[in-house]
Amino acid sequence: MTTESTKPEDQQGTDATAEQLVDDIVKEAEAQVEEQHAHEAVSAEQERINELELALAAVKATVNDQKDSVIRAKAEVDNVRRRAAQDVEKARKFALEKFAAELLPVVDNLERAIANIDKEDEAQKVLGEGVELTLQSFLSGVEKFGVKAVDPQDQPFNPEFHQAMSMQEVPGVAPNTVIAVMQKGYELNGRLIRPAMVMVSKAAPTVDTSA
């Protein structure tokens, strides 16, 4: 059998095909490498984004906590200021409480002196007018500082402001009505410093009509 030799043209074509195949393989490998690098770059970028998002969330949480702390601190400061202002106001209003209580017996004595003056006696009448003017001037002075009398004549009995000394049945008068004021009470800027001593009406005893 005779073996035919390969023609130069056929050899060149084969070499060209082989080179093309090698180029295609190299390009595909390079493309795969680039794709892998791109994928790795995207993954690294995404990981970095995730880290930044976590850091941002932590910062926001810290800021919110700090805001809450600031709000609570401001509220506490406002409460302290308000309590301090209230304490100052109370101290201003009631600083004279003991002093005013010491003055009340003077008022009582002046009122008793006026009540015991014989108005038929001209000399006592003139003296009584002077005492009454002194009493009115004295009361006007203490009223400027918040001292007011508690005179519950003919008013319903109020245990918060009145002290019942006795009870008496009075026809035509509703029970628990103040029928006599033995001694006036006094308050300082709305705070009671002495209750009024009073006599209170009581209900008539019930009669058993079933017998």
Mean pLDDT on 163-184: 91
203 falls in which pLDDT band (50, 70, 90)? confident
161 falls in which pLDDT band (50, 70, 90)? very high
Mean pLDDT on 23-35: 72
CATH number of 96-202: 2.30.22.10
Mean pLDDT on 51-65: 84
Residue 196 vs residue 67, higher pLDDT: 196
Average pLDDT, rounded, for the chain? 81
Residue ranges per domain, the chain?
13-94, 96-202
Question: What pLDDT sits at residue 3?
Answer: 45
158 falls in which pLDDT band (50, 70, 90)? very high
Mean pLDDT on 81-89: 81
- Residue 201 pairs in a beta bridge with 168
Contacts of 104 (CB under 8 A, 6+ apart): 186, 193, 194
Mean pLDDT on 121-136: 86
Mean pLDDT on 158-181: 91
Q: Output phi, psi for 18, to 5 deg.
A: -65, -40
